Amino acid sequence: MTPKMLRIGSRGSELALWQARWVQGELARFHPGLETSIEIIKTTGDRILDSPLSKIGDKGLFTREIEQALLSGGIDLAVHSLKDLSTELPSGLALGAISKREDVRDVFIPHPRNPVRKLLDQAHGATIATGSLRRKSQLLSLRHDVRIVDIRGNLNTRLKRLEESNWAGMLLARAGVVRLGWADRIGETLEPDVMLPAVGQGALGVEIREDDATTARLVKCLHSWESATAATAERSLLRTLEGGCQIPIGTYGRIERSEQGQYRLLLDAVVGSLDGRKLVRGKNHGHPDDADALGCQLADTLLASGADEILNEIRAGSPPA
């Protein structure tokens, strides 16, 4: 039985609404006659814009209020950027679908008056904006001389702040920039071997109530096995490391198919100190069915290789040696 109306919960930023409308459009395409509405819900992360994410915590920062609305029955499903969604969902909630992933890479957006388009070609001591400790750590490992400034807010706000600043540029996720039609602002797209992305970057997570079989059936059309498998490994790694916005962790999972038609899951990861002087990298691969185990294994390898020391120093609030 198909419900008359499916209520979609979303944050109110332009990018979040783009994502919710994309889900709305796909549901209409696969289920003609299904009516949907979008309910805008303001989260803690949307309200507190004058503090770095690392200072205000990361557990449910952009999801808690939406998840509460889902649990209370105020909405039927929630659309999140998967990288915002905790690896431990509240009791009673489940991931109903993970969308086909867009480009996972980060990009450098130069200041409109900055003719130098590439990140590593910026002048000595250049100022680069980012709200991500993951990006900060990896950038400082490549360029100890740059100055990092924290930036928060939606993409429109960040672009405006860049234009009004004397910064050389800023770092963002390519998927969001492209989705909002700002690809022409990109100076350089950074390959994963230069900067590993965030867990789940580029994918959408559709969250539903665990006992809602009707909505679960309807959102199956949004699900991508390949993206979900890669994200499962990445989220398993993050869960094992007990990381989040406050810890610089980058990872990239992807499925490769051999000439013989066999699938293999590849997973790369890095854990870095806040000053970028200490990075621990690792790789793992195996059968896609073992995605969760592969993520756990790689996390254990990173911890044994020195990531535990980095993470303990960060959690203790002391600078790395």
Task: Give catalytic residue positions.
Answer: 84
**From the CA atom positions of the chain, what is the Rg in Å?**
20
Torsion angle of C-alpha atoms 55, 170, 152, 279, degrees rounded to 10: -20
Instruction: Report d(CA 78, CA 88) in Å as an integer.
Output: 16
CB 41 within 8 A of CB 11: yes
CB 211 within 8 A of CB 92: yes
- Report residue 118 CA to chain centroid gap: 23
Instruction: Report d(CA 48, CA 291) in Å as an integer.
Output: 35
Label the pairing between strands 93-98 and 106-110.
Answer: unpaired
User: What residues contact 65, with CB distance under 8 A and at least 6 apart?
Assistant: 41, 42, 43, 44
Which residue type sits at 312? N
CB 1 within 8 A of CB 214: yes
Nearest to 278, CA basis, from 138, 183, 146, 172: 138
* Two structure tokens written together for 87: 């690896």
